[in-house]
């Protein structure tokens, strides 16, 4: 079934039995096709899948991208790296409400993690970048992030470094905005975190989760959290409306900002207002605060809000919130063979 039809049948619509079967078949096929070949233990009927140990990359380009990710020369005054806001020892984020960029400038929105971003169908909360390389073109010249004046200035800085140039030109014909960001994107494909307790559970180790976590996973499925937080990254596969069963923004009690527009900022289609790319739940226990506006300070607050606004549970029971939260804690994976902290 083509994607446009799927959208018309989506939330709030009432497909008949035949449409439901057609839709489910289409979803099953689409899901199978979109999973990387390396995905272990695929059960195409299950909405969430274990993360593969690795995805195919070009090692030499990865090494160049790694160095760029930690290189202050992408920023106007040398002080800001990608890693400043996406710290690998902090779950791939900065753990701030909104990020702090060059000269202490505050950004408008909470930083999502770089871990497992490779599995996102598009990048950014509003999907304005098609892939990782495209995404990496943004921050260096963003005035409140890395604050470089232009890509020409950035390229010139790297051109001056003979050592860098020698290594870079072994892999790419030229130093350009495109090749620099391609290398960064290639590196980010290695920032995946397999082997969480939940992954081991999915692959058959039934002792990998506690009883409470197994119950939390049951609730997660029962409340259809997995329809949005789906796939390998348990998110990053669609734009969804924030506040399906209640006016989240009114209840928040603070004025609307541009960051609240979500996908609308790109399309100007009223349908897209307050629709956000669903964030990944992988390593979510490490990436507080939560939501694009950092309104949920702790994981249990985010779970409670999701039950209320996305799953129509008017008064979430404390025990259910605790069990789901405990389940989400089992999603912390390994990077380079070590469990993330």
76 part of the interface to ligand HEC, by CB under 6 A:
no
Stretch that binds ligand HEC, among 27-35, 44-52, 205-213, 274-282 (CB under 6 A): 274-282
- For ligand HEC, the closer of residues 61 and 86 by Cβ is 86
Number of residues that bind ligand HEC (CB under 6 A): 53
120 part of the interface to ligand HEC, by CB under 6 A:
yes
Binding string, 224-263, against ligand HEC, x = CB under 6 A? Answer: xx-xxx----------x-x-x-------------------
- For ligand HEC, the closer of residues 208 and 281 by Cβ is 281
199 part of the interface to ligand HEC, by CB under 6 A:
no
Q: Which 149-188 residues touch ligand HEC, going by CB under 6 A?
A: 184
- CA-closest candidate to residue 141, choices 62, 80, 67: 80
**Which of 217-221's residues contact partners 24+ apart within 8 Å by CB, and which partners?**
217/327, 219/320, 219/323, 219/324, 219/327, 220/324, 220/327, 221/47
Distances (CA, A) of 101 to 212, 224, 255, 316: 40, 37, 23, 37
CB distance 233 to 282 below 8 Å: yes
82 part of the interface to ligand HEC, by CB under 6 A:
yes
291 part of the interface to ligand HEC, by CB under 6 A:
yes
In which region does residue 291 sit, left (phi positive, over 0), alpha (psi from -120 to 50) or beta (all else)? left
Joined tokens for residue 258: 């541009």
CB distance 110 to 259 below 8 Å: no
Q: How far is the CB of 210 from ligand HEC (least distance, A)?
A: 17
139 part of the interface to ligand HEC, by CB under 6 A:
yes
Report d(CA 261, CA 259) in Å as an integer.
6
What residues make contact with ligand HEC under the rule CB under 6 A? 74, 80, 82, 84-86, 99, 101, 107, 109, 111-112, 114, 117, 120, 123-125, 132, 135-136, 139-140, 145-146, 184, 220, 223-225, 227-229, 240, 242, 244, 276-279, 281, 284, 287, 290-292, 302-303, 306-307, 310-311, 324
């Amino acid at each position: 079934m083509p994607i446009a039809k799927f959208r018309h049948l989506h939330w709030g619509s009432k497909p008949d039995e035949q449409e439901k079967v057609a839709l489910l078949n289409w979803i099953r096929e689409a899901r199978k096709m979109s999973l990387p070949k390396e995905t272990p233990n695929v059960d195409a009927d299950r909405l969430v899948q274990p993360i593969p140990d690795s995805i195919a990359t070009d090692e030499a380009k990865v090494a160049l991208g790694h160095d760029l990710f930690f290189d202050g020369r992408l920023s106007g005054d040398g002080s800001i790296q990608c890693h400043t806001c996406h710290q690998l020892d902090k779950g791939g984020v900065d753990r701030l409400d909104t990020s702090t960029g060059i000269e202490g400038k505050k950004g408008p929105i909470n930083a999502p993690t770089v871990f497992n971003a490779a599995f996102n169908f598009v990048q950014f909360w509003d999907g304005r970048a098609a892939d990782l390389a495209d995404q990496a073109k943004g921050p260096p010249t963003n005035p409140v992030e890395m604050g470089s004046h232009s890509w020409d200035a950035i390229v010139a800085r790297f051109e001056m470094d003979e050592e860098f140039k020698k290594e870079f030109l072994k892999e790419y014909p030229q130093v350009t905005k495109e090749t620099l960001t391609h290398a960064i994107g290639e590196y980010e494909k290695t920032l995946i975190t397999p082997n969480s307790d939940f992954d081991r559970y999915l692959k058959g180790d039934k002792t990998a989760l506690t009883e409470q976590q197994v119950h939390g996973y049951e609730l997660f499925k029962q409340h259809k959290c997995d329809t949005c937080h789906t796939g390998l990254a348990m998110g990053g596969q669609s734009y969804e409306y924030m506040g399906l069963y209640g006016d989240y923004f009114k209840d928040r009690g603070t004025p609307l900002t541009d960051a609240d527009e979500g996908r609308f900022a790109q399309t100007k289609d009223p349908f897209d207002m307050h629709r956000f790319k669903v964030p990944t739940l992988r390593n979510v226990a490490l990436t507080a605060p939560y939501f694009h506006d950092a309104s949920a300070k702790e994981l249990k607050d985010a779970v409670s809000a999701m039950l209320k606004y996305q799953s129509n549970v008017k008064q979430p029971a404390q025990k259910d919130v605790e069990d789901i939260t405990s389940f989400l804690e089992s999603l912390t994976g390994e990077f380079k063979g070590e469990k993330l902290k």
